[in-house]
Each structure stands twice: as C-alpha cells, then as structure tokens.
Structure 1
Amino acid sequence: MDILLERMGRWVAGRRTKWVTLVAWIVLAGVLSAVWPGVNQKEDNTAANLDSLQPSVQAGLLSEEEFPSDSGLPALLVWKRDGGLLDEDYENIQKLTAYFTQNPLEGQELVVPFDRIPLPALKQQASEDGTAIVLPFFFNKNIDSDLLKQGIAQIQEQVKTDFGSDPFAAKLDDHGELSVRVSGPAGVSLDAVGLFSNADVSLLMATVLLVLVLLLLIYRSPILAIIPLIAVGFAYGVTSPILGKMADMGWITFDSQSISIMTVLLFGAGTDYCLFLISRFRQLLMEEKDKSKALVRAFRDSSGAIAMSGFTVVMALLVLLFAKYGSVHRFAVPFSLSILIMGIASLTLVPALLAIFGRVSFYPLVPRTPEMAAERARKKGKANISKSHKKSGGRVGRVVTKRPWLIVIVTLVILGGFAGNALRIEYTVDILSSFPEDSPSREGFAVIADKFTPGELAPVKLMVDTQGKEVPLEKTFSELPFVSKVSEITQGKNNNEINAIDIEFNLNPYSNEAMKHIPDIRNAAVQVLKDAGVTSPEERVWVGGLTSTQFDTEATNARDQQVIIPIVIGLIAILLLAYLRSVVAMIYLILTVVLSYFSALGLGWFVIHDIMGATAIQGLIPLYAFVFLVALGEDYNIFLISSIWKKRKSMPLKQAIQEGVTETGGVITSAGLILAGTFAVLATLPIQVLVQFGLICAIGVLLDTFVVRPLLVPAITMLLGRWAFWPGTVEGKTEISQHSYHKQKQLK
C-alpha cells in the first residue's frame, strides 16, 4: 500500500505531472461551468417536504379536488392604523381589490372582493377596535417562488399608486400612519426564500474571509493561506455544474438552505483535508532537504487518513437518502458529492500546488532542515535559533499517558454534565419563530394575533365523508376549548357528501400546543361520524392546513431520526473496523463522538436558551447536527489513531501515544478552529434555524478538538493497552518496554 501511495504522490506532484494536474482541474472546472448550469440556477425552494402518504398531504389533495376556490396559497395583507382605519383607507382597499379582480396577477386564483362589499359591512370585517383589517389574496398552490415574489411586488406598486404613499415601508408603531404587511403562508414562504437567498452571498464572503484570516494567523503565510482556498474554489467550480446538471435532468432537487450549508461544509471540511497534508509536508521539510521527496512522503503518510476521513463523511451524508422528510433527503447528494470532489482535490490539486510552490508555500516562515538552517544562519552571520512548535502538544501527550485515569474521569464528568443538559431541550417546527422579528410575515402575524385571533393566520381545514347523514360539525367543534371560530359547512364540488369546515385556533397555529390538538380534532370528527351512524369513520376524516402539516413534519422527523442515526453509527462502525481492524478501537471511537454530540446539544441548549433566550430549537437540528458531528468528529479520531497505530509498530504504546498526540495536535487544533469558525459563520445570519445549527455544530467541533481528540481518546487508548488493538496485531513487531525503546534510541 505504501508503494502504491508513493507512486500516486510522485504522479500528482511530479516535475511535469504537477502541471498536468493543475491544468486538468482548470480545464475541468472551466468546461463544466461553461456547458452546464450552476447550482444556484437550479435551486427549487417550493419542493415538497412530505410525501403523498402523509395525512396532511392527502387532505390537501382532497381540498384541491373538492374545494378548489379556497385551496390556493393565501397571502394575507394585514392593514393597520393606530387610532382607527379611515374611510379613505377602506375605499383605497376596495379600489385595490377591484383592480386585481379585473387584472389578475400571474398565478393569482382569487382576491376576496372587498370592492363589492358596502362600506359599513366592510368595516365589520375589521378588528374590534377598528385599527386593522386583513385582505386575502389566493395564489396557485404550486406557484414558483420567483413568480410569487413578482406578484407581491406588483401589489406593492399598485398600493403606492392607489394610496399615494408606501404603507409597506411604514413602521407598525408609527402613530396615525397606515401600514401593511404580507403575512400568511405566502408571506412566510416569501420571507423564507428571501432570507436564504440574501444569505448566500454574505455567507460565502464571510466564510472565505474567516478561513483566510484563520490560516494567516495559524501559519502566518499568505501563500499557504491561499492554497486551500484555491482547492475549495476548484472543488466548488466542479461540484456546482455537476449538481446543476443533475437537477436539470430531474435526478435531484435542492434548495437555498442546502446550498448555504454545502458552502460552509466545503470550506470547513475541505480546508481540514488540505491541512492534514500541508502539516505533514511542513514537518518533513524540517527533516528532508529534497522538497519532492518530502512531499511524496507526506502524501504517503497522510493520504490514507484523508481518504478514509473523506469517505466516512461521504457515506454518512449519503445515509440521508433514507430520510422521508424532503429537505433532509435533499441534503444527501449535494453534501456527499461536494465532500467527494473536495477529497479528490485534496489528494491531487493540493499536492500539485505544494510541488509548484515548494518551500516558498510557507514564506516567510520557511521550514528547513537543521543543516539548511545552520548554513543560512552562517551566511547571514546570525546564530541558528530553532523554535519548537511541539511543546504544547508534547506536554499534553505526557499528561495523558502519565495520568490516563484522571483524564478519563474528568472529561467524562464534564462531557456527561453537558450531555445531561440535552434532556431539557424543547423542540419546535414553528417556522415563524426562526424569522427575525422585523420580517414582514412575522410582523403581520403579530398584528393578527393582537387584533384578531392568531388562528386566523392558518386555519385547520376539516373534511369528512358524511355518507349523506346529518353531522353537526359546527356545533361539535365550536364547543372545543382551543377553538375560536368555526366556518359554515361547505359541500364538495364533485361529491356533496363530503363536508368541510375551517377551524381557527385561539392560539398560535404554528405552536407545539396547537399541533397537539390535531389528534383531538381527528378524534372528535371520528366520534361525531360514529354517533351519526357513518361506517368506518376513521377512514372518512381528513385534517388539512399548516398546523396539520407541522404535525406530520414532527412525526416524519422522529421517524427519520430513528432510522438514520442507527444506520450512520453502523456504517461508521464498519468503515472503522475495515480501516483499523480493531473491534475495541471501533467501539470506543464511536462512543466518544456520540458522547461529544450529546454534549454539544446540551451545551448548545445552554447558550441558545439560557443566554440567548430562545424558548425552543428547530426540530430538524438534532438530526442535522448528528450526521455532521459524528462524521466530521470521526475524521479527527481517524487522523490521530492512524498516527498512533503507525508509531506503535516501532515503539512502545506509551511513546506512540505521546508522539501521536504531539504530531497531530497542531494540525487538528488548526483544522478544528477553522471548521468550528465556518459553522459559527452561520450564527451571523438572520435565520434562527441556521444560527442554532451553526452554534451547536461549532460547539461540537470545539469539544472534539480540545477535549475528545487530545485527551479522552488517547487516555482510553493508554488504559486499554494491547486491548486497544484487539483482535488486530502490530505486524512484525513484539511488545518492547519503554526502557528498552529509549536504550535502543540512545544506541542509534
């Protein structure tokens, strides 16, 4: 294997072939970008997240078939004027509805005809204090996000024309001034797309700047800081058109959120893989005068761990294909493909660039052998001063091998304490809570909740098959304590035995409390059908609406966690077993990263809840964080254990652990800081789901970097001794004592 890796290293970084490698990447990225669409051109933010078997989806399909007039996507224009709406306001609103009734927008299905309602009757539609009114527009349920955005923009322009001012720009708390906000499902959808699309450019710029600054601070070399960014840039340049082409052919679907996180993953994990090779190259340049030989040795020593680490992440991310929830399922291909291509770039393009720049890559702190340093100092007339960069790593290695029991107990207590806090976490699938407080849809919802009832924003649509029998739906559901309003019964367009009512909650329809009432509504409907003598009532009830959708989302997410987490753990276990050939090592390496994951959740909840004041975290975050933290955390374990395993073949275990921790300490710490930093960039965005995801992942990476990798894993390895390798053996070597090793070293 070493011979094969050396040959590969000589090929990608040879005197002539290094240029071939570089040109190949330039041509590949250029040609693909020229002939295939980029990933941003093919994003689809309207893709369904729930499959057709979910009850809320089936209810939606039935609603479209039997009640098409109100099955569109509602955009609620929420008007407000402190002190009371003026007659002029009502007249202008009527003028607005008349205009769009006669000149419907593309994708518009219906606008409530306020222009046909007499002014006194229209005033009855306003809030009790007369300060607010809601004007609904209905759009096609499957309308494209860009088309919806254009439609709302046209409404805004017409409002300016009819009103002679811009109520959309007015602040809600401006006394006496008319304001309007777009809320409801269409407003929420529009804000979600806008937040993610606006985040793309700022996220990319912030991530590049952060990685560049960290690399400059760590290595203090401008050339070296640029090399990983070049590799990431080429990897993105190849990944983007491939994903765009796959989406164009209908093979995959992705949205703005997946593209944003993919960008972070590329820069964070991609830079890590580059640093694994760069760090080893730097070490060998202090021992080997010939830069080409040093690079080939560095490739041989690090490529196995890089390939294994990358493959582990790729396979773990592909497991997301087993998810039923759409946004999670859609992560699988973009994430795994980007890491695969980045891994290839780390093992081809990065060695080629290092071969081209050579020792100059590290300028001005150029690594040299002792002889080269002495000669250079002699020529300059200066004393040769050599600073060791291994002191801190060496101290950690000695402490870990000297007091392993203390290290294990202390780290387990700390990590266990953090993990215990994860039991306190509250979860939510309320999308509004993830928006900034000044987003239009959230401000509009606040007005509805204050002036009307919050349930008006997203009513539940209950449909039942009465089989022609008299069923008292209005009376039954009006008496429920969590219901504020029930509409009149309507009959189906094609089947008049299907009756429907709209149910408005007296609480936030997006809240966990409202979701818990979805089974209550279903059970009440089944019971009233049963009392009326309807046969098989359980099969004749459909509950639709956003609250029902969220209920199914929560159930689907729970199912995905139960399926995906065991598969990821089992897959990583198989890969570790194949790579390390040790059952014992496989077990404790997996257990440590799982403990780190729960610790990150617990500590993250402390920051998000107790410090930042959030009442809950988004329900999808635990699954996202698990796949990322377990896969990426195992990277560092693989790199550390690979070093210890190799050194164990020629020295006692204690010495191998000390030198392994020392050798990998700097690069893993640097890589961990960069990866944590890129995740932390997500916390600067105005989207709470990304803020929470970024914070938890950043905390998890830091725990892996500064606790699990340098302390817990080597301490456990030290305590287990020979059993750490069971049932594998160290080929061709017998156990030698520490004393014998040092004696042999002195003789050499």
Structure 2
Amino acid sequence: MMTGKISRWVVIAVWIVAAIILTFALPAVKDETSNNSADLPADSASVVADEFIKEEFPNSSGIPALLTWHREGGLTDADLAEIQYLSKQLTDKPLTQQSFFPPLHELPLPALKKSVSEDGNTFVQPLFFKENAETATLEKNLESINDMVSDRIGSDPFKVSTDSDELSLRVTGPVGISVDATGLFAGADFQLLLATVILVLVVLLLIYRSPLLAIIPLIGVGFAYLVTSPILGYMANHGWITVDSQAISIMTVLLFGAGTDYCLFLISHYRSELRNHASKREAMMAAFKDSSGAIAMSGLTIVISLLTLLVAKYGAYHRFAVPFSLSILIMMVAALTLVPALLSVFGRASFFPIIPRTPSMEEERAKKKGKAVKKHKESGRIGKWIGHIVTTKPWTVIVSCLIIFSILAGYSSQIKYSYDILSSFPEDMNSREGYAVISDSYSPGELAPVTVVVDTEGKDIDLAPALKGMKIVESVNDPVAGKSNKDLKSYEVKFNMNPYDIEAIDSIPDIRTLAEKELKSAKISNVDEKVWVGGQTATQFDKRDTVKADEFKIIPIIIVLISLLLLAYLRSVTAMVYLMGTVILSFFAAMGLGWIILHHFMGVDAIEGTIPLYSFVFLVALGEDYNIFMVSSIWRKKKTMSIKRAIREGVAETSGVITSAGIILAATFSVLATLPIQVLVQFGLITALGVLMDTFIVRPFLVPAITALLGRHAFWPSKVTDLEEKEHSKN
C-alpha cells in the first residue's frame, strides 16, 4: 500500500490530515501538564499523617514559603522595618490562595530582633498558602512579593548576591522548591526539541551526506509528535492520565532517538535493494519485507516495557507509562507507513548526491557519459572484520567483553542514592540559595521540620525529652493539643542536618519507634495506630520505600515480558536467554561507568534514587532493539548459508546502520545532560553510556560471538543443521 502510485499519496495525506485535525481539535499536551501531582499512594504513612495533621492542627496547615532575608554584616533596623511593612501589606491585602501570614508588623522591634539569627545576618519570614494552590498561582505570588519589595527599597533583592552587604531575599521551603522545579522545565520542551532536531539532522547529514535523506526521518518523527501531543493532551484533559513536564521532556528525546533508529533501519535496507532492483517500488517492497518485522518487534518491545510502569505505585513512574509507550507506538506506525510512502515518492533521489543504482543502470549511465563504469565501493569493511573476529575467536571476544563488563558492573554496587530534592537544582537557584543561607545562620532543619503526633489517651506523656535525646535532633517545640481531640499532642522536631539527607530519612522509623515506646511505657495499647509522623523527611522516607518496591516488582515483569516476546519472535529459548543476559549485564556496567564519571569526575556524591528503574526500562528495551535488528538478519540468512557465514554477513550488513542508530540515540539522550536538572543529567548520561555499550560492544562483539560459539544450539529448540557441517559430512 505504501508503494503504489496512488496509495502512497493516500498514506501521506492521511497523516497530514490527522496531524492538522488533531492539532486544532484537541489541546496540546504541554497545556495539560501538572507538576504538583502526588507521587505517593494515598495510603502511605506520611500522606495519612499529613492529612491527619492538617485536620487536627490547622495552624500548622498550608504550604509554607520561607522568605529568607539576608545581609552580610548584619540586618539593620531599616531592614526589619521592610519586613514588617511586607507583613502589614500582605495581611491587609492577602495574595491569591494565601492562608496565613504571621502578623510580624504587630511586634515591637526588640521582640522581632529575637527571631534574627545569632550572627545577626538572617531573618526567616514564613508565609503559608492553601494546599490546593496551583504552582502557577504561587509563582505569580512570589513575583508580586518581589515587585512589592523592589519598589520599596529601589533594587531587586532576588538578584542581590547572598554574600553581599546589600539586602537580599530568597524564597525557599516547599513553595520555593515547587516554583523553582516548575521553572526549570519552563521552555525545556522547546529547548530539547530544537537541540534534538539539530543534533539528529547534523548526524544524518554526516552519515548519508544527503540533505533529503536527513530530512525524511525528521518528517516521520515530526508527524508522530504532532499526532501524539494532542492525543495525550485529550487524555490528560479528560483525567484519564496525568502528565508532567519531566515526562514530556524525556518523551521528546525518546521519540526522536528511537524514531530515527526505525527510519534508519528501513532506509538502510532500501538503499541495498535499490542496487538490486531497477524499480524503486520493487526495492521498497523488498526492503519493507526484510525490515518491517524487526521494526514492529522492536517497537512492541519498548511499548510493552514502558507500559509495565503502569503497575508502579510511585506517581512519577506511573505518569511516564502512557506518554512514552503511546509515542513509540505511533512512531512505529509512522516508520511502517509514512516513511516508506515518502521514500517511495522520492525514490533514488532521496539519496542524492550519492544515488544507489543497479549494475546495469551504472553501465548505461557510464555509456551516456562516455566514461568507464565506477565500481561500487565495498561497504561494511569494519563490519566484515568484526564478523571474522567473532566467528574465528569467539572465546577471546566473550571473555574480554565479560571482564570489561564485570569490572564496570562491580562499581554499580558502590553507588550511593539520594532523595534530596534540592540537590537536583543548580547551586544558583533561588530556593537552594535560600536554604544555604538558612543552613549557615540557623539549624538546617528549619527548612522542613518533622511533625510527630501521638494520642496520649489523656495520660501525662511528654515526648520532648526523648526526642531531644536523639543525636540528629536540634530542637523540639512545646506540644500543641489537637483541635477536636485534646488528647492528641503534636511536636515539631527540627534536625541539626539537612532534612533530606539519608541519615535524616533513616531516622523516621527510629522516631516512630521512640514514640511507640513512650506510649507503651504509659500502658497504652495498639500504639502503632496512635503515632503519626509527617513532614518532608517522612515523605522522602516513603518515597524511597515506594521506589524500591516498584523496582523489585517492575524489573522482573519487564524481563519476563521481553523474554516472551523474544521467544515468540525468534522461537529459540537459548537465544532468548543470552540476549536478555547481555543487555542486563550491559545495564549494570552502564550504571557502574556512569557512577565512575558522575562521582569521580563530576563530584556527585549520590545519584537520584529513581535513576535505576528509569535507566533499566530504557536500556533493556532499547538495547534489545539492536539485538533484534542484528539477530533478525542472522536468522534470515541462516536459511541459505552456514551459521558462521550468516553471522559474518549479518554483522556486516547491520554494522553501519546500527552504529549510526546507536550514535544518534546516545546523542539525543545526552541532550538531557544540557538541562540544569541533576536527575536528567544523571539519567541522560547513564542511558547514553548504556546505548553506546550496546552499540559498540554487545551488538557487534558479544552477541555474535556467543551465537558463533553455540552454533546450531543457539537456535534450540528449533532444529537447524549447519550447512558447513552438512558439507563436511558429505566429504
């Protein structure tokens, strides 16, 4: 259908019409993003505790913004007057969704000075907003505060350096962090899209040296994106899915990287067939027949792998599933319909100026010009050399690869993980600078105290002494009674360290155990139901547990599903086992190498805790893609030639296209490292390294060497007789 004189135009028209209708009829996905969606299940201990605390202790409810005023050399009376002026203004004219603002303007100056830090340089002014306040509203509120203060003092305190002797203002705490996190992704879609398009275009031009051929894959990917975006927007608008900016950013990279790979595999086959067929239609039909199965299998592998994220309990994982899988599914359809139709229209002109022709066409062309026929340069020389090495010295290749991967994989056991939100931000980010000021002048725990609530059942129980006895606790506020139940007591606990540090997160079970022990000492029963621990540190503790639980659940599911797909496609248990084993080993090696670079060369103390599962999903699925492309070629050729020759020919045939595809895919993921967000830098680097390992080690060396070593056993339980053995037996 994609090659007919009329049908190819119908295919192209269908894609154009679909893109136009969907774009104008449905909302774009970027307009439906939600960056403050919950990541933890509603029944998580910290979520339950936070909801309970909001009901019983309304004075502590709301999302806090910590306005951090600072002047090196000490805040002046005039500075404190500005703080009181802002307090009065926002009390008289509250901001949108503002819930509570301490009336500091009602305090006499001496009383206000008592809240200044001991060094006299810093003052933290809390401002609370309603829980359901949108991030966009919070951002506008912070801008209003900035304008209000700037007009009063004649300069922008948000831009004054925090080590200056001028008055500076930073907003940190949950509100500041939320606004900054959203701001980091503002424009990220366009930035990533532009950088990825330029990168892919340049690499394609270098590979094929054909302007038109460089554009055709981008057209296919572009239409897939135009169709995917409104469909996702429609689904998000109706509440079927939730999407965030981070998911859309990574989806863009995945779509262009994987989509270009599919196009390259088809283009490579088409170019080869144009040298065998004078008819461009027959060439495309032959190319489509050889490549469509591998492209479809590759796409389904990624789609199914990504869909497994739907079983995740951690919200960020769950939100990735549909955008990623749908974009790849639509791209796969585009690669099997739109791209063949475009290539059929342009035919050999697609490869201009290096046009592939049949030998007879070359002779006729040479006669017309009165020149000798130019011999077609032999392609895939490196691939043929590799094919020779892996079939003649398989043990050497396998052992060498396993040694390299084992050493790198060993480093993955040394990785330290972090759940610190602020560590993902650039050091000059507003909220991170504000936190640094608080840490220097106050206890670092001021940023996010932990709230401990216990039901005393009317008994005289005081947790404060026991809590203060913990080595990581800086201070404990006096207990506050509950609104509807006076037997409830709430304690605000401030750490003497970063509340997002691993040590602080690890202390949450200890705090709960301590509280339960005190209740047991007072002869209170069912203590596990009468202790609540809330706050950001408790949330991070639940996040870590949820993330780890998802890893143990999703990784085995992915392995099983991809194994079944490989088994169905190759009909070989042996091949399925070693193909899965090699990509899993490659994943651990990529993690280890990534840690070496991040830790020893980039000074990263710990990587974000969600990285392992993200990287596993992509590296295993994408790594298996390249195995499928190459193995499908070997499987096809073994029908007419010996196994070793099929391996040599298969490696040579696919070496160029898979190497090109791998370089493009790794380069597109490396674009993520240009964003000022550490989690994307780490994910982009590790994924790019894994793709390069699959491209230059696993696919060309390790997998073919294992196949050559196993011989006909590589196809078990299918019965295959090696033609070399058959010829040898005849002689």
- How high is the TM-score relative to the length of structure 1? 0.96
Kindly indicate whether the alpha-carbon contact (under 8 Å) linking 1:70 and 1:138 is maintained by their aligned counterparts in 2.
Answer: no
Per the alignment, residue 79 of structure 1 pairs with 69
Contact 1:596-1:700 within 8 A present in 2 as well: yes
Q: Distance in 1 between matches of 2:599 and 2:366?
A: 57
List structure 1 runs of 4+ shifted beyond 4 angstroms: 738-741
User: What is the SS of the residue equivalent to 1:563?
Assistant: helix
Which residue identity does 1:417 align to in structure 2? I
Shift of 1:674: 0.4
Query: Which of 700, 723, 727 is 1:736 aligned to?
Result: 723
Residue aligned with 2:461, SS: coil
Residue 245 of structure 1 aligns with an amino acid whose one-letter code is Y
Q: Is the 8 A contact 2:307 2:321 kept in 1?
A: yes
Which piece of structure 1 moves more, 62-71 or 29-38? 62-71
Bigger mean CA deviation after superposition, 470-479 or 415-424: 470-479
260, 276, 279: which one pairs with 2:249? 260
- Counterpart amino acid of 2:626? Y
1:651-680 deviation digits (Å, cap 9, x = unpaired): 000100000000011110010000000000
Contact kept in structure 1, 2:630 and 2:654, CA below 8 Å: yes
Q: Which moved more, 1:157-166 or 1:75-84?
A: 157-166
1:322 match: 311
Q: Secondary structure at the match of 1:737?
A: helix
**Which of 685, 688, 692 does residue 695 from structure 1 map onto?**
685
Displacement of 1:198 after TM fit?
Answer: 3.3
Q: Following the alignment from structure 2 to structure 1, what is the Cα–Cα distance between the partners of residues 194 and 653?
A: 33
**1:2-401 counterparts in 2 under 5 A?**
11-174=1-164, 176-383=165-372, 384-401=374-391
Deviation at 1:729, TM superposition (A): 3.0
- The 2-side partners of 1:521 and 1:381 are apart by 90
Q: Structure 2: how far apart are the matches of 1:412 and 1:317?
A: 28
Provide Cα deviations, 1:343-391, integer angstroms capped at 9, x if missing partner: 0000000000001110011111111112222332333344314212211
2: CA distance, partners of 1:645 / 1:366? 29
Query: Which amino acid in structure 1 is aligned with residue 29 of structure 2?
Result: V
- Pick from 504, 518, 527 the counterpart of residue 514 of structure 1: 504
- Helix, strand or coil at the partner of 2:337: helix
1:488 positional shift: 1.3
Match of 1:449 in 2: 439
Give a deviation string over 1:425-467, Cα, whole Å, max 9, x none: 0001111111100001110010000000100000001111111
Secondary structure of 2:655 counterpart: helix
| Distance (whole Å) between structure 1 residues aligned to residue 132 and residue 622 of structure 2 | 37
CA drift at 1:162: 2.6
Q: Counterparts in 2 of 1:459-478, with a 5 A limit?
A: 459-478=449-468
* Aligned residue runs from structure 1 range 274-673, under 5 A: 274-383=263-372, 384-673=374-663
Q: Which runs of 5+ in 1 are unaligned?
A: 1-10
SS of residue matched to 1:367: coil
Residue 197 of structure 1 deviates from its aligned partner by 2.0
Equivalents in 2 of 1:719, 1:134: separation in Å?
Answer: 68
Deviations 1:243-292 (A, max 9, x none): 11111111100100000000000000011111110110011111111111
Amino acid at match of 2:223: F
Deviation at 1:740, TM superposition (A): 4.7
CA distance in 2, matches of 1:282, 1:59: 63
- Once the two structures are TM-superposed, the CA of residue 130 in structure 1 deviates from its matched residue by 0.7
Counterparts of 2:304 and 2:439, CA distance in 1: 46
CA distance in 2: counterparts of 1:407 and 1:52, whole angstroms: 51
- Counterparts of 1:729 and 1:258, CA distance in 2: 45
Residue 339 of structure 1 deviates from its aligned partner by: 0.3
Aligned length: 729
Q: CA deviation at 1:494?
A: 1.4
Instruction: Tell me, in whole angstroms, the C-alpha distance in 2 between the residues paired with 1:392 and 1:380.
Output: 33
Task: Describe the SS at the equivalent of 2:67.
Answer: strand
1:714 aligns with 2:704: yes
Partner SS, residue 424 of structure 1: coil
* Cα distance, 1:40 vs structure 2: 0.3
Cα distance in 1 between the residues matched to 2:93 and 2:123: 23
Inter-partner Cα distance in structure 2 for 1:559 and 1:30: 43
Alignment partners' CA distance in 2, 1:199 and 1:438: 18
| Deviation of the 1:143 alpha carbon | 1.2
**CA deviations over 1:197-218 (Å, ceiling 9, x no partner):** 2322211111111111111111
CA contact (8 A) 1:655 1:738 kept: no
Shift of 1:65: 0.5
* 1:388-418 Cα shifts (integer Å, max 9, x gaps): 2211111111111111110001011011111
CA distance in 2, matches of 1:206, 1:626: 25
- Which segment drifts farther, 269-278 or 191-200? 191-200
| 1:738 to partner: Cα distance | 7.4
What's the CA shift for 1:534? 1.9
Match of 1:415, SS? helix
Is the Cα contact below 8 Å between 2:456 and 2:488 reproduced in 1? yes
SS in 2 for 1:51: coil
CA contact (8 A) 1:221 1:361 kept: yes
Is 112-121 or 258-267 further displaced after alignment? 112-121
CA–CA distance in 2 between the matches of 1:563 and 1:425?
21
Rate the CA distance shift 1:739–1:587 in 2: closer, same or farther, 3 A: closer
- Quick one: distance in 1 between partners of 2:59 and 2:362? 82
Tell me how far 1:498 sits from its aligned partner.
1.2
Q: Does the 8 Å contact 2:643/2:723 carry over to 1?
A: no
Q: Separation in 1 of the partners of 2:209 and 2:53?
A: 63
SS of corresponding position for 1:251: coil
Tell me the SS of whatever aligns to 2:413.
helix
Query: What amino acid does structure 1 have at the position aligned with 2:564?
Result: I
Residue 717 of structure 1: how far off its partner (Å): 0.3
- What is the rounded CA distance, in whole Å, between the counterparts of 1:686 and 1:204 in structure 2? 16
Aligned residue type for 2:472: F
Structure 2 unaligned spans of 5+:
none
CA offsets 1:664-707 (integer angstroms, 9 cap, x no match): 11110010000000000001110000000000000000000000
Contact in 2 for aligned 1:46/1:142 (Cα 8 Å): no
Name the CA distance, whole Å, in 2 between partners of 1:405 and 1:662. Answer: 20
